[in-house]
Amino acid sequence: MNKSALLHEPKQRKLLVSTGISWLFDAMDVGMISFIVAALAVDWKLGPQQIGLLTAINSIGMAAGAAAAGSLADRYGRRAVLIWTLLIFSAASGLSALATSFAILCALRFVAGFGLGGELPVASTLVSESVAPEDRGRAVVLLESFWAAGWIVSALIAYYVIPAYGWRTAFVIGALPALYALYLRRGVQDPPRYIEHKDSKLSFGWRVASVWSPAYRKSTVTLWILWFTVVFSYYGMFLWLPTVMVLKGFNLVKSFQYVLIITLAQLPGYFTAAYLIEKFGRKFVLVAYLLMTAASAVWFGNAVSEGALIAAGMCLSFFNLGAWGAMYAYTPELYPTAVRSTGVGLAASFGRIGGVIGPYTVGLLVAGGSAITSIFLLFFAAIVIGALAILLFGKETKGTDPDEGHEAVRG
């Protein structure tokens, strides 16, 4: 495959778009939650701690889903698990529209989170395995760019649908991906690399042992630190973004409008990361984009004027989501095919613990009267820790083949 084959092979373009649309639906659902909780706070008179709890429960489901789906995808195939996780979160999202109490909504959001958390690592693994090494990083970052499109769709739904038709209608829209899962049954296949290396005799315990074997232990620890700090800061900041805008004095509709503008900056963040990741490598993009995210967090926390808030928020979106794309490209490249999805799923699952702690911590701090400035300093510190972990302990994987010279633990 030549350097530009990714752009010229219809089969690979179709794979990228097909999995990308499922990724878009994931982002749409997660994004809508950030807007729905702002509306629910008014409708159901929820306090900051309840808002934090609802978003945290969604992340608990994502942690469980990532660990389970990662292992199942190594055993039963990427395609089958991708479809089932899409169906699970679609059904739970649709049923959320019927929730009559906060407790019921929390339970449904756990199930939706399980499907969401399971789909993401499986989709990135599938794409990573289906492309040549020279295009692999770019392809996965472009896959991640569909996340920005999903957030833009969720922001549009929040701006045009929620004020006019209510938050329940937004959840109904979230059930539409179930129809798309039917297309994926024929539109996506397991990559040849997975089929060649498939070994159904490897149990979950053996795959976990392999991920933590001496050959991969340093990479696993580094990845888990990276995932935890990135997910902790992302969900802590972005799920609270509409609510933070309200706390800074803007009404609900105006805050939705500003978040839509801020979300648009995610797309160039992904596209620049997709270009730079093959030119300068994974470590460069991760460290540079994370440090710029940290600086943007401090700027946003201290911004008071409308112009400063929007500018800082756009920088936050640009660099944070570019780093996400690089992280998803980097993670599958550290493990061999037999345990790759398990390794990605476990890293994502540990990261989701940060996604639980982040939003809930913000809820506790807001309820306790902490200033927004102080809260965003906490995220600054977390992001810097993630950047330092990659800088000091991460290894460059640009152009490497994860299966060369690596053997999974076998039972």
- Where are the chain's structural domains? 7-185+201-393
Report whether pLDDT(26) > 60: yes
pTM: 0.82
Report whether pLDDT(201) > 70: no
Q: What share of the chain is helix, strand, coil (3-state, %, to 5)?
A: 80, 0, 20
CA gyration radius for the chain?
A: 20
Query: What CA–CA distances, in Å, run from 6 to 139, 268, 269, 274, 403?
Result: 8, 20, 20, 13, 21
Q: What is the pLDDT of residues 258-295, one digit of tens each?
A: 777 887 888 899 999 989 998 999 999 999 999 999 99
User: Under 8 Å CB-to-CB from 104, ≥6 apart: which residues?
Assistant: none
Dihedral sign for Cα atoms in the order 200, 81, 196, 121 = negative
Residue 338 has a pLDDT of: 84
Report whether pLDDT(248) > 80: no
Report whether pLDDT(95) > 90: yes
Report whether pLDDT(337) > 50: yes
For 7-185+201-393, CATH number out of 1.20.1250.20, 3.90.1170.10, 1.10.10.10, 1.25.40.420 equals 1.20.1250.20
Residue 198 has a pLDDT of: 65
Candidates 135, 139, 101; CA nearest to 18 is 139
Q: What is the pLDDT of residues 29-70, one digit of tens each?
A: 888 887 788 788 888 888 877 877 887 788 889 899 999 998
Terminal-to-terminal C-alpha distance of the chain: 35
Q: Around Cβ 298, how many Cβ atoms within 10 Å?
A: 15
